[in-house]
Amino acid sequence: MNTSFQLYSAREFTPWVDIYEMLANLGYNQVEGFGANYVDATETKEQLDKNGLTMPTGHFFPIGSFEEELNSTLKAARVLQMERIFCPAPEDLWRNGTDAANWKSLAQRLEEACKKVNDAGFRFGWHNHHWEFMPLQSGEIPMEIILENAPSIEWEMDVAWVVRGNADPISWINQFGDRITTAHVKDIAPAGENVDEDGWADPGHGTMDWKSCYSALTNVGVDVFVMEHDNPSNVSRFAKRAIETFKLL
């Protein structure tokens, strides 16, 4: 199984050349990109090649990256030889999205984006946070609205964010496993701990039942697992612990 690393986790610990070398030395063979890695996509590709790393997946934000900025998005994706492209956040809908119509409109934009990205030769999907699992005033769940109204998109499940949204990831995997192709591996610290890291923990060092989640995800065909920590205080510690935990799953 390929082991990927979301480079957003290392944004405070650059230069990137050092990050790529560290990841390669730890045994990673893939990374997942975000905005900072696309500023000079050619340079990024050269450094990845130098360290035996590939970037099969990438995050592009906001959704305008697949509308008015589509050409530049696709250009970066081609240079970096990506296969799957994900949109990772719903702009400001977590603050102003109490109306289901707003989420439906977002989903319709994602469906249109999916057609364009697919036509260009890439796969396209959504990456969740916790907002999508918080019931709206109508009682509807935004993630269900997205999946229903954007039937062509894939889902990169960030399992720990599902838990932070007070939802059961196994239930969602069982219900929507045919949409989930990629997953983020992160962990949640016990209540009150790791405050300096926004309450996150290194995989295997928190409260998540990753053994069960990994089994459920592989059973529905997920084949890319991306290690992530939104705010690590020590990126090499996190990267080392993450890949060690993943190898034991």
Q: What pLDDT, in 10s, does the model give residues 183-242?
A: 999 999 999 999 999 999 999 999 999 999 999 999 999 999 999 999 999 999 999 999
CATH 3.40.50.2000 for the 3-248 domain, yes or no? no
Q: What is the pLDDT of residue 167?
A: 98
Average pLDDT over residues 32-37: 98
Is the pLDDT reported for residue 97 higher than 60?
A: no
Reported confidence tier of residue 99, pLDDT bands at 50, 70, 90: confident
> For the chain, where are the alpha helices, taking DSSP H only?
16-26, 41-50, 70-79, 93-96, 100-119, 142-149, 159-164, 169-176, 210-219, 235-248
Q: Report the chain's mean pLDDT, rounded to a whole number.
A: 96
For the chain, percent of residues with pLDDT exceeding 70: 97
Reported confidence tier of residue 90, pLDDT bands at 50, 70, 90: confident
* Packing angle of the helix pair 169-176, 210-219 (nearest 10 deg): 0
Q: What pLDDT, in 10s, does the model give residues 115-132?
A: 999 999 999 999 999 999
Number of H helices, E strands in the chain: 10, 10
Average pLDDT over residues 159-186: 98
Domain boundaries defined on the chain:
3-248
Strands, sheet with 180-185, edge to edge from the N-terminal-most edge strand: 3-5, 224-227, 180-185, 154-158, 123-127, 84-87, 54-59, 30-33
Q: What is the pLDDT of residue 243?
A: 98
Q: What is the pLDDT of residue 92?
A: 72
